[in-house]
Amino acid sequence: MTSYDVVIAGGGIAGAFLARQLKLERPSLSILVLEQAKEIDNLKVGESTVEVAAHYMITRLNLGTYLYQHQLPKNGLRFFFDNADKSLPLTRMSEIGSDHMPYCPSFQLERAALERDLVDLNRAIGIDVQLGAKVVEVAVGSPHRVVYQDGEQEGQRHEVRARWLCDATGRRQLLTRARGHKVHKEERLPTAAAWGRYRNVAGLDAPSDPEWRQRVRWTSRHLSTNHLMYDGYWIWFIPLAGDLMSVGVVYDKSRIGDSVRTRPAFEAFLREHRAVRDLMEGAVFEDFQAYAHLPYRSDVYFSEDRWALTGEAGAFTDPFYSPGSDFIATANEFIASMIASDLDGDAEAFRTKVGTYNDYYRFKYESTIRLYIDLYPIFGSYDVFRLKFWLDFNNYYNLVLWPFMAGKLRDIAFLRDELRFADRILMAQSTMARQFVALADKLRDSGEYFARNEGLFANGLDGVRSLEKRVGPSLDELFRRDQVQKNYGSVFARVLERFTGKTDLAAREVVLKELPFPAVVLWKDIDEKSVAGLFDRLGLRLKKELAREFPHAPIERVRVRDDLSLEITGDLDAEVRSAVEARAFVLWQTTVLVD
């Protein structure tokens, strides 16, 4: 019976990436990849990658040259907002997106082509890749036993043994189900998806309106992961190499029902949108697929019994923001690290890694799923979503991308330190989600939900200006934590501005000082009472500052009026009052640079 160091069930990108990483890091490893398909020729969803996955593919897998030669570079995430009638042409929709290629690269992947190429690339470095190999039996042990049927030999059965067994079979979840473990359907997020691939789709650079093109400095919108945003759902347009366009819809079933899961229903749904009709005119159908429910999770991802789950074999959240390949990169980093400690005979390090990596992966799932829970109803409002995106994008660069690029993901001490703040991060996410939903409800009730959905543009890269060129191999913890404070405070202040109709709150230094991270996390509802309380605290802060600078001036109170002017009371003579009011004005008007 043949034995391997590692057997990987599943030869899609999760399994192929893992095999490649392990072989590049430990060339002596014997690795077997068992892929059920005889030929990798079916198109797969999951084309859009973001920065962590791109960095992983380039630096860990040595695929940079391949990606630039055979796949499409991605021009970031881009969002378009329609009116209530879904009748705006693309060029009149409000937009969030970049006006140049982002600093950190990412790619649009034609998955079938990539996975076919990975078979040859991995075989070339000594990985045993078997196609048409259906795993029919697994027995976890020491070693593990795996039985598979060989499609090339009319179902002949083969049995192999492995020190490590890794499940990369996606939604088949071979190992979890074989062991009788539960896969938890995520009930907090009732999303589903339908999608197809088409040829001859008009590119998003096709409109000839020069003003619209100039708005993004003639950069290519076509290369972006393009989202058309609506109340309860979003429609994607993702370009692929070879004149393919991936077009799909992800929707909250509690918001719009569940009647989009056949090709006729899907295409009829798309035709309800003017911009989509324009883009799809003359499109040639290639394929169609659908999922009835998207998010789920496992309880355990990595085991001291030397088995592990990667990619969708372990968990899936939602395709919005394209986190799927980031999950693959994270799981594979953990698996490679655990296997290294095991092979090195460091039993204590191995056990510690298994526990910590499981804890962190669960946190990663939870912090990602909270980006979406209850939030699909805000997606159709440019007014609200731009605030959410500002928060999420900055947090992604700061809390997710930077540690990965700095090589911290395998560092147990670093991960444990991050996990110390996990509850606070999750609470902050829930607080902000509640405020975003409340703001959307307020705008919907007042008829303003769609008010700014036409003709506006926000540069999506503005939210990471301070981080963009800091992110790299050296981690600055003080700067990172300061960024979290500023990010939550400035976004929350912007929500307050929209709630209250008072402008310029988010740029005032004194306001942001009064909105540190703990204050944002613990804020309940935004209403007259809570806003009045904030203004009282702002007055007290200004009074304390003035008292330090004018210790002998009998200042009784500083009040921030509804019109954002200041009222200073106290028995002050004319000369002192003039000096105090002048200084108060400066303190109140002092702004900070907010990205």
Give the pLDDT confidence score for residue 362 in this predicted structure.
98
Report the alpha-carbon distance of residue 225 to residue 108 in Å, rounded. 8
Residue 561 pLDDT class (50, 70, 90 cuts): very high
Quote the mean pLDDT of the chain. Answer: 95
Give the pLDDT confidence score for residue 482 in this predicted structure.
92
Give the pLDDT confidence score for residue 153 in this predicted structure.
67
Tens of pLDDT, residues 188-219: 999 999 999 999 998 899 888 899 999 999 99
Give yes or no: residues 143 and 258 share one domain. Answer: no
Give the pLDDT confidence score for residue 494 in this predicted structure.
96
Residue 338, domain extent: 2-69+109-181+299-343
Give yes or no: residues 36 and 149 share one domain. Answer: yes
Give yes or no: residues 194 and 58 share one domain. Answer: no
Tens of pLDDT, residues 527-557: 999 999 999 999 999 999 999 999 999 999 9
CB 315 within 8 A of CB 269: no
Give yes or no: residues 219 and 255 share one domain. Answer: yes
Tokens of 385: 């979503």
pTM of the model: 0.96
| Predicted confidence (pLDDT) at residue 138 exceeds the cutoff of 80 | yes
Per-residue pLDDT, averaged over 497-505, amounts to 89
Extended strands (E) in 10-132: 31-35, 72-73, 77-81, 94-97, 107-108, 128-131
| Predicted confidence (pLDDT) at residue 298 exceeds the cutoff of 80 | yes
Question: Of 275, 308, 343, at which residue does a domain stop?
Answer: 343
Tens of pLDDT, residues 240-297: 998 899 999 999 999 999 989 999 999 999 999 999 999 999 999 999 999 999 999 9
Report the alpha-carbon distance of residue 258 to residue 233 in Å, rounded. 12
| Predicted confidence (pLDDT) at residue 224 exceeds the cutoff of 60 | yes
Reported as type and span, the H/E element at residue 535 is helix 528-549
Tokens of 106: 């990412």
Q: Side chain identity at 479, as an amino acid letter?
A: F
Residue 154 pLDDT class (50, 70, 90 cuts): low
Give the pLDDT confidence score for residue 203 in this predicted structure.
84
| Predicted confidence (pLDDT) at residue 595 exceeds the cutoff of 70 | no
435 in a domain, yes or no?
no
The residue to which tokens 């002048």 are assigned: 582
447 in a domain, yes or no?
no
Report the alpha-carbon distance of residue 234 to residue 228 in Å, rounded. 6
Give yes or no: residues 26 and 51 share one domain. Answer: yes
Contacts of 433 (CB under 8 A, 6+ apart): 370, 373, 374, 375
Question: Of 343, 376, 408, at which residue does a domain stop?
Answer: 343
Give yes or no: residues 212 and 304 share one domain. Answer: no
Q: How far is CA 386 from CA 453, 495, 497, 595, in A?
A: 11, 11, 14, 13
286 in a domain, yes or no?
yes
Q: How far is CA 593 from CA 38, 486, 507, 509, in A?
A: 57, 10, 7, 9
CB 410 within 8 A of CB 337: yes
Strands 144-150, 128-131: pairing is unpaired
Give the pLDDT confidence score for residue 64 in this predicted structure.
97
Per-residue pLDDT, averaged over 9-34, amounts to 98
| Biggest CA-to-CA distance, the chain | 101
353 in a domain, yes or no?
no
State the CATH number of the domain containing residue 140: 3.50.50.60
Give yes or no: residues 172 and 194 share one domain. Answer: no
Q: Would you call the peptide bond into 143 cis, given omega within 30 degrees of 0 as the criterion?
A: yes
432 in a domain, yes or no?
no
Three-point CA angle 574, 577, 578, nearest 5°: 85
Nearest of 113, 119, 21, 104 to residue 67 by alpha carbon: 113
- State the total domains in the chain: 3
Nearest of 405, 528, 392 to residue 460 by alpha carbon: 392
Quick one: DSSP state of residue 45? S
Give the pLDDT confidence score for residue 469 in this predicted structure.
84
Per-residue pLDDT, averaged over 80-101, amounts to 97
Tens of pLDDT, residues 437-476: 999 999 999 999 999 999 999 999 998 998 988 999 999 9
Give yes or no: residues 124 and 89 share one domain. Answer: no
Quick one: DSSP state of residue 201? P
| Predicted confidence (pLDDT) at residue 593 exceeds the cutoff of 80 | no
Give yes or no: residues 331 and 262 share one domain. Answer: no
Give yes or no: residues 40 and 114 share one domain. Answer: yes
Question: Of 275, 291, 307, at which residue does a domain stop?
Answer: 291
CB 534 within 8 A of CB 514: yes
CB 361 within 8 A of CB 314: yes
Give yes or no: residues 265 and 216 share one domain. Answer: yes
Q: Higher-confidence residue: 42 or 570?
A: 570
Tokens of 461: 């890269």
415 in a domain, yes or no?
no
Report the alpha-carbon distance of residue 549 to residue 547 in Å, rounded. 5
> Of the ranges 47-61, 300-314, 458-472, which one carries the lowest mean pLDDT score?
458-472
Give yes or no: residues 124 and 176 share one domain. Answer: yes
**388-427 per-residue burial string, b: 16 or more CB within 10 A, e: under 16:** bbbbbbbbbbbbbbbbbbbeebbbeebbeebeeebeebee
Contacts of 586 (CB under 8 A, 6+ apart): none
120 in a domain, yes or no?
yes
369 in a domain, yes or no?
no
Quick one: DSSP state of residue 93? B
Contacts of 344 (CB under 8 A, 6+ apart): none
Tokens of 451: 């008010």
- Beta bridge mates, 133: 150
State the CATH number of the domain containing residue 233: 3.30.9.100
